[in-house]
Structure 1
Amino acid sequence: MALPVEVLLGIYLGLLTGIVPAFVAGSLGFLVRYFTGVTLPGFGVVVLALSIASVQGGLLGLVEPTIAQSPRLLVAVLVVLMLALYAHNQGDKLGAELPRRLSLTSIRQRTLSADVVELVGNVGQVTVRPTGEIHDMEGYPPLSPDLRRSLKNGSWRLPADLPLSELESRLEERLRTDHDLADVTVTIDERARATITAAPPSGGLSKRIPDGRRAVSIATLVPTGLARGDEVSIRAGERTVAGTVLGARTEIDDEHAAAADEPSAGDETAVPDGGDSAVDAAPAPKPNAASAGGVGRVTVAVARRDVKALLETETPRLVVRSRGTSREFEAFALVRRAGHAIRRFTVGPSADADVRAAADVTVLAARRQGSETGGRRSGWVFAPGIERSLEPGDEVFVAGPEAATDEFVEAVAR
């Protein structure tokens, strides 16, 4: 018989008899690597594959004894060995990459793909961008074209070491703050692509006025950098009225907004047959952006009894009150000065309760996750309000001596 035919028959017999040896080699390679961390030697795989294939090859030899003297036997053996070694390599790779500890909590806590993580110094960050269209939320009016365009063209940098559920919560909070959305839902996949469903702002000014207060607009000289939320004092004649800034607008702010809407003289703008400009309108400035200063109008929330005095004053003067030093940073500085450290981590599934009880650390706050919350994290609980002991899946802040804290985190965190 011609040599090409013998080679084809050898490949056919090798594929036919190599399925079972390849399956066994791949399974053993996976099990040995997964449970012991050791790679099964290639020589052992060869011996095992030939032993299994010889049983099937022996049956074929009984049916057709001429196979043993033909070149097709050598080709078949080579095919069997290649299949077995390939299956063993894939099984060994799967055993090395598959996590050793699987739980429902770890499955829920999906993380980002390593390809989208950017290292900034020693900190990993990720840029989240929308994918597809921005969806309208059922039960709310549709989004305006400018707001929809601003969301679709936006991008947001977030920490990359958080699970996707936490990234979704942070992005939702940021979108509510930046765009005053009435409601928003975000879904982020492993490639940092966000699917956004949003509702437009409703009652933008009225919902920012605290109970028992009124909003009053006054014409005055606006300090540079004034923004929503600043605490101010307004001198109205002999009285001084305390208020909170709800919004500020000056002539310089209007000029900046007009300049952003106009294309530069050197730009060539193509207009299609429909008459719509090919250049999108510039997004409106954020409502909480700092003012450029100058003559303008400021809207403040004041007590009811002070409304009449402000409206009757022709030239009110506005003074911004200092909020003082951030107490949070002062607290952290004092902790560091005392030689202590603060760590944030998630309790692992194999954490030892005895280690947690004996550690020389203090639990500052805990964020629960368990069956009673439907698998979702509840709000932060601060000491001494923490009643039950820590459980797997809890997100915790602890403080203590730096060495003891690091040792505790290594023993308890996952």
Structure 2
Amino acid sequence: MPSLPVEVLLGLYLGLLTGIVPAFVAGSLGFLVRYFTGVTLPGFGVVVLALSIASVQGGLLGLVEPTIAQSPRLLVAVLVVLMLALYAHNQGDKLGSELPRRLSLTSLRQRTLSADVVELVGSVGQVTVRPTGEIHDMEGYPPLSADLRRTLKGGSWRLPADLPLSELEARLEERLRTDHDLADVAVAIDERARATITAAPPSGGLSRRVPAGRRAVSLTTLVPTGLASGDVVSVRVGDRSIGGTVVSARTETDDEIDGDDGSSGPADAVAPDGGADPEPAPAAKPHAATAGGSGRVTIAVPRRDVKPVLEAESPRLVVRSRGTSREFEALSLVKREGYAIRRLTVGPIGATDETIAGTDVTVLAVRRQGSETGERRHGWVFAPGIERPLEAGDEAFVAGPDDAVEAFAEAIAQ
């Protein structure tokens, strides 16, 4: 008769060999029962089921070698079978409780961030999104420059944490496109706020800023301090005044600050002891404001006014006022009356007309959720004239007294 250690090893081998099928059956039953009924399968039933299935296999094995029934390896094999069956049942029950009952494209699209990466700033949650891996080149476009690739890889962006990942991706794409003049960009953000960025370098930056039907004209004149791309100006040519939009501006003072005149800046810096190269000068931002003084300005003007501007000997530049932003004026008037404006997301139950009518809250705008993917980048519907009641997942801007807005937010969040 083999020794006890050999019997234990044989029992472990037989238990693993025999316990595969009972463990699979126990795990499957545990998952199905918990997923469809919400009830955990009793452990005693799992033990009886596993022993029943294992006895069939053990009986077949006993016909081949009857001495197994009188050896200690049988007890070890039974223990291994029961442990495997109970473990598989526990994992199946856990999977059945965590798996969503209704899985759709909308729920997959509306994934949110993990709670571990959310930072509370006052009462508002924010998240810092950082790139992960390399910055990929977009197919069909030239590769990114080394400086731009390094800038994107080392960047970080703070965004609201209460938005779904699809909305965070859209906002980060818009910010990257605006900050770096990218021709195109695609961003994918995971639950840990790690962004995978695919970008295309700027192409035709000047031509893209010239509106259709206009021409870009450069002139040398006295540039006002603070002039930047996008400002509306008038060019005084004799008795005429020609309006246009600034596309780019550069002055002699800006060149001196950047070290382009040879008198200062990193261009003439001496390497420190040890032979290390000086740090390169930061690249000039295309939309930065000028320091003022003599310089050159590129203005987008109508085609009929190109010749008069080019023939002018001493044109004068006058910056025109754009006026006050109407959006800020409207917001200040609402707050002056003691009302609060909040952006809310409707909960699973939704909000009926009775819920809205029973409060002093006014729904200003609603962004409807897409029927298939939950896409909500566009589609704001402004009140009055909302076609249907608020449904689960819709976003809404509401206005009203503070207490009424708080009560309405609690009502629709349920």
Q: 1:204 to 1:89 in 2, by over 3 A?
A: same
The aligned residue for residue 295 of structure 2 is: 296
Instruction: Give the whole-Å Cα distance in 2 for the aligned partners of 1:188 and 1:73.
Output: 53
> Normalising to structure 2: TM-score of the pair?
0.74
Larger mean Cα displacement after TM superposition, 142-151 or 287-296: 142-151
Instruction: Give the whole-Å Cα distance in 1 for the aligned partners of 2:387 and 2:270.
Output: 63
Task: Please tell me whether residue 405 in structure 1 is matched to residue 408 in structure 2.
Answer: yes
Instruction: Give the whole-Å Cα distance in 1 for the aligned partners of 2:55 and 2:136.
Output: 65
For residue 312 of structure 1, what is the amino acid of its counterpart?
Answer: A
For residue 403 of structure 1, what is the amino acid of its counterpart?
Answer: E
Correspondence for 1:53 among 43, 50, 55: 50
Instruction: Give the whole-Å Cα distance in 2 for the aligned partners of 1:261 and 1:379.
Output: 51
Instruction: Give the whole-Å Cα distance in 1 for the aligned partners of 2:390 and 2:199.
Output: 35
Task: Say which SS state the counterpart of residue 100 (structure 2) adopts.
Answer: coil
For residue 284 of structure 1, what is the amino acid of its counterpart?
Answer: A
Shift of 1:120: 4.5
> Normalising to structure 1: TM-score of the pair?
0.74
Residues 191-270 of structure 1 mapped to structure 2, 5 A cutoff? 192-198=194-200, 200-202=202-204, 204-205=206-207, 207-209=209-211, 211=213, 215-223=217-225, 225-232=226-233, 243-258=244-259, 259=265, 265-266=271-272
For residue 405 of structure 1, what is the amino acid of its counterpart?
Answer: F
Shift of 1:51: 1.4
Task: Please tell me whether residue 128 in structure 1 is matched to residue 130 in structure 2.
Answer: yes
Instruction: Give the whole-Å Cα distance in 2 for the aligned partners of 1:51 and 1:194.
Output: 50
Q: 1:205 to 1:32 in 2, by over 3 A?
A: same
- Which ranges in structure 2 are unaligned for 5 or more consecutive residues? 260-264
Task: Say which SS state the counterpart of residue 208 (structure 1) adopts.
Answer: coil
What whole-Å deviation, never above 9, does each CA across 1:36-92 have from its counterpart, x for those lacking one? 76766xxx41x2233123324545366466545532233223323322332233234
For residue 128 of structure 2, what is the amino acid of its counterpart?
Answer: V
Instruction: Give the whole-Å Cα distance in 2 for the aligned partners of 1:359 and 1:34.
Output: 39
For residue 53 of structure 1, what is the amino acid of its counterpart?
Answer: A
Maintained 8 Å contact 1:128/1:158:
no
Shift of 1:263: 6.6
Task: Say which SS state the counterpart of residue 289 (structure 1) adopts.
Answer: coil
Q: 1:320 to 1:267 in 2, by over 3 A?
A: farther
Shift of 1:141: 5.5
Task: Say which SS state the counterpart of residue 128 (structure 2) adopts.
Answer: strand
- Which ranges in structure 1 are unaligned for 5 or more consecutive residues? 271-276
Q: 1:283 to 1:114 in 2, by over 3 A?
A: farther
Question: Aligned residue pairs: how many?
Answer: 395
Instruction: Give the whole-Å Cα distance in 2 for the aligned partners of 1:186 and 1:267.
Output: 43
Task: Please tell me whether residue 77 in structure 1 is matched to residue 78 in structure 2.
Answer: yes
Shift of 1:108: 2.7
The aligned residue for residue 26 of structure 1 is: 27
Maintained 8 Å contact 1:134/1:152:
no
Shift of 1:394: 4.3
The aligned residue for residue 314 of structure 1 is: 314
The aligned residue for residue 370 of structure 1 is: 370
Larger mean Cα displacement after TM superposition, 391-400 or 72-81: 391-400
For residue 52 of structure 2, what is the amino acid of its counterpart?
Answer: V
Percentage of identical aligned residues: 58
What whole-Å deviation, never above 9, does each CA across 1:342-368 have from its counterpart, x for those lacking one? 2232665x5465666766454433334
Shift of 1:220: 1.1
Shift of 1:199: 5.2
